Amino acid sequence: GSLNHNDRKFTAQNVDAERTKNNIVYCNDNIRNVYHKLFDEAVKKYNAKQTRKDREITNYYKKINQESKQEKPFTEVIVQIGDKDTMGAETDNGHLAKKILDEYMKGFQKRNPNLYVFSAHLHMDEATPHLHIDFVPYITGSKRGLDTRVSLKSALAAEGFAGGTRGATELNQWIASEKQELATVMERYGVEWLQKGTHEKHLSVLEFEKKERAKEVAELDSQKQEITSVVAQLGEEVSVKKQELQNVTIEKELAEEATQRAKEERTTAQQEKEILLAGN
């Protein structure tokens, strides 16, 4: 996410500055202050347990931002209904989208207590109304490292999104749940969620993905059976060819042996003939 873009510290080319006054700012806190608020006490406890100075944490935000390979300082999600053709910001549908997104946003933090929202903006000065929601995912009571620490995976797990298959990760489950929350708000305003790629109504993203994967697996199984059949047929043909080649080799060897015997017999006959002639 670009926090400076979200709060319009600079204006991009796709932004209509005359409509910026129509945007909604829900919160816009300094992320470093948020880190102090959430983690200073945990950092203090952690450092008190260290016996080596080089293992102490002096700046947790800097540590996550520059050193962590697994976590990011914050996460951003962008929420939008439709597109510029169906929900253009300057149309009646666009204003309806604003109401829906506003109601959805007002319930976001309550639904997600482990995602600390520090920056949230509803933009009406671009082609389509949309939300930028920036949050710090964290957990408490951790047995590893800081007892309160940054972790998107663990934060979502704490909210009940346990990881499953590769496709049904904590994040994917959470995204599907939030989409359903948005769809519920949309329904209250008479807007139906037309999910692209399927004609089945109210089918969750994960259910749709599972069905698509099942189709792919079934197709791969069919291809596998077909390939297995072809391989078996080729195997039989190879066996036949091997037998034919073996027969030809045997016949060739027999022919060579017969030819050799014939040569030997001719040589013997010639020698006997010469002996007879010499005797006469």
Cβ-count burial 30-68 (b if 16+ within 10 Å, e if not): ebeebbeebbeebbeebeeeeeeeeeebeebbebbbeee
The pLDDT assigned to 9 comes to 86
Q: Give the closest residue to 109 by CA, choosing from 169, 29, 45.
A: 29
Q: In angstroms, rounded to a whole number, what is the distance separating the alpha carbons of residues 117 and 137?
A: 9
Beta bridge partners of 121: 25, 132
pLDDT of residue 254: 76
Cα separations in angstroms, 5 against 9, 140, 159: 6, 31, 30
Q: Assess contact for 120 and 76: CB atoms under 8 A.
A: no
The reported pLDDT for the residue numbered 198 is 47
β-partners of residue 77 are: 133
- Contact of 170 with 157, CB cutoff 8 Å: yes
Query: pTM of the entire structure?
Result: 0.68
Please, are residues 8 and 122 in contact by the beta-carbon 8 Å criterion? no
Residue 241 tokens, joined? 């060819």
Average confidence (pLDDT) per 10 residues, the chain, 280 residues: 83 90 96 97 95 92 92 95 93 96 97 97 95 96 92 94 78 93 95 69 49 58 69 74 76 78 74 67
Q: State which amino acid sits at residue 269.
A: A
The string of DSSP codes covering 40-66 is HHHHHHHHHT-SSGGGS-S-HHHHHHH
